[in-house]
């Protein structure tokens, strides 16, 4: 059995107390993404979005220590308000793909699928699926061993989204 055949995608979901349209817009409106995107403690410095297959979301985050980290999505599928599929990577200021700044063995690119399921109660189940895109054996191993840190990182990001949605919902109501 090869490492790739043993690989497990990283999967996480959360139910938000917000309608699907609101959750979808939080991910697809660049001004809204600027308000919450990134790990806890990070802030968005710059963000540009071209939401269409072949388009991209290119952003810069400021870390708590003041360091700047760039990232990029290249969209493959955009199915409003149900699904986003994209290749996710770290990047440089010009949008070039780069290695993880703290972990050079991290996969260069990840295939990301985000789904948005309206639950009919004003709530939305958001789910994400991550898998390395064309990984080396070492990258796959790093990814497979990193599920705990991904759970923590995504948990913090989704906490930020949850707080943003609560604020957005309160101001609308």
What are the tokens at 112?
Answer: 């990301």
pLDDT of 134-154, one tens digit each? Answer: 999 999 999 999 999 999 999
- C-alpha–C-alpha distance, residues 49 and 47, integer Å: 7
pLDDT at 83 (0 to 100): 98
Q: Is the pLDDT of residue 121 over 80?
A: yes
Identify the pLDDT of residue 170.
87
Cα–Cα distances in Å, from 41 out to 38, 46, 142?
Answer: 8, 16, 24
Segment holding 29, helix H or strand E: none
Distance CA 44, CA 144 (A): 28
The rounded distance, in Å, linking the Cα atoms of 113 and 169 is 25
| Model pLDDT, residue 2 | 41
The β-bridge partners of 43 are: 62
Would residue 53 be called left, alpha or beta, if left means φ above 0 and alpha means ψ between -120 and 50 degrees? Answer: beta
Per-residue pLDDT for 5 more than 60?
Answer: no
Residue 89 has pLDDT above 60, yes or no: yes
Judge whether residue 1 has pLDDT over 60: no
Check if the beta carbon of residue 123 is closer than 8 Å to that of residue 101.
no
What stretches of the chain show up as alpha helix (H) in DSSP? Answer: 3-6, 20-28, 30-36, 137-145, 147-172
Tokens of 138: 């070492």
Q: Is the pLDDT of residue 3 over 60?
A: no
pLDDT 10s digits, 6-53? 678 999 999 999 999 999 999 999 999 999 999 889 999 999 999 999
Alpha carbon distance 131, 144 (integer Å)? 9
Domains of the chain plus CATH, in order, are 9-172 (3.30.530.20)
pLDDT of residue 6: 60
pLDDT for 120 equals: 86
């Amino acid at each position: 059995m090869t490492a790739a055949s043993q690989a497990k995608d990283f999967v996480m979901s959360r139910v938000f107390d917000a309608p699907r349209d609101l959750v979808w817009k939080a991910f697809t409106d660049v001004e809204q993404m600027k308000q919450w995107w990134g790990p806890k403690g990070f802030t968005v410095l710059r963000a540009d979005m071209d939401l269409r297959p072949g388009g991209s979301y290119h952003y810069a985050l400021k870390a708590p220590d003041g360091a700047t980290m760039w990232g990029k999505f290249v969209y493959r599928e955009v199915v409003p308000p149900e699904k986003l599929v994209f290749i996710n990577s770290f990047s440089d200021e010009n949008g070039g793909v780069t290695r993880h700044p703290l972990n050079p063995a991290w996969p260069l690119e990840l295939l990301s699928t985000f789904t948005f399921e309206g639950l009919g109660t004003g709530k939305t189940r958001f789910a994400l699926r991550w898998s390395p895109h064309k990984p080396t054996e070492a990258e796959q191993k790093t990814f497979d061993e990193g599920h705990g840190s991904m759970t923590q990182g995504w948990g913090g990001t989704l906490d930020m989204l949850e707080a943003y949605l609560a604020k957005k919902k309160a101001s609308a109501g």
